[in-house]
Structure 1
């Protein structure tokens, strides 16, 4: 009975965190795009690429890109190396970058915001100048050798003016 109550409390705290994050995003006029993709409970497959399709109407703006990760307590590492790149409407690979997201300190304490076993971390991924309005596809893959990477709950991308 104690475990059931603990699981319900953990789930409630996680839902509150997601609601608060969604509310803050909805109130931000500078955010052009913000989306998460949930990963399977068993883990992020080595060959799974996450795709984010972004419609960009303003090609004269410099966009600030950030990657957001929600991890659980069972993530086995301190860092998460990622490859992020995006394609233009002409299907040309425009920008490609390797990022290192630090999720825990040397003592194993999670650095992200959160509670109840779910933590959210944000990593600035630089600035992008879109050359032409249209549909852009951002792609993210993890660079760890694990065939199945446990403990990553969601991966998101945010574009701000």
Structure 2
């Protein structure tokens, strides 16, 4: 009985410390990808932003597994601002080491990669923002993109305070 209580107390303390350490987080959501990520499928995140003074870091979070066949990942990320203006970026990220093992955090074949989107950025206007993320992977020598990208299980978007 005493052993079980120690285990429960330790588990509670560990979970409390994990949740309380994330003071920088402002927004953090994930969307599940159903088996494969179609090249026309946009994963969107909407959030309300009131602060136009503070600097923020923004990240695209990718959870992938050993079915991911490439060493890099190309994304098109667009941000619709409250004034109707959309800013679009095409981004490339390295997803595997030279030996082919997946990069990212994780103990199993599922890895999570926290990929930089914007660093020390300010929101120019208060209001609703929508970030949309689309895969744009292409195979070498082919013009059309990969129709169905395997190995991505979830796509996330995160905003953190810089200080």
So what's the TM-score if we normalise by structure 1? 0.79
Residue pairs, 1:8-47, within 5 angstroms: 24=18, 27-41=21-35, 43-47=36-40
- Which has more radius of gyration? 2
Unaligned runs of 5+ in 1: 1-19
The one-character-per-residue Cα deviations of 1:39-79 (angstroms, maximum 9, x if unpaired) are 002x0011001111011121212211111100011111011
Q: How does 1:31-70 map to 2 (within 5 A)?
A: 31-41=25-35, 43-70=36-63
Which residue, out of 93, 105, 117, partners 1:101?
93
In structure 2, the residue matched to 1:86 is 79
Structure 1 moving runs of 4+ over 3 Å: 23-27
Distance in 2 between the 1:79 and 1:117 partners? 17
TM-score, normalised to structure 2, is: 0.78
Unaligned runs of 5+ in 2: 1-14, 138-144
Q: Name the SS of the counterpart of 1:113 in structure 2.
A: coil
- Matched positions, count: 138
Query: 1:25, 1:34 within 8 Å by CA — same for their partners in 2?
Result: no
Contact 1:65 1:125 in 2 (8 A): yes
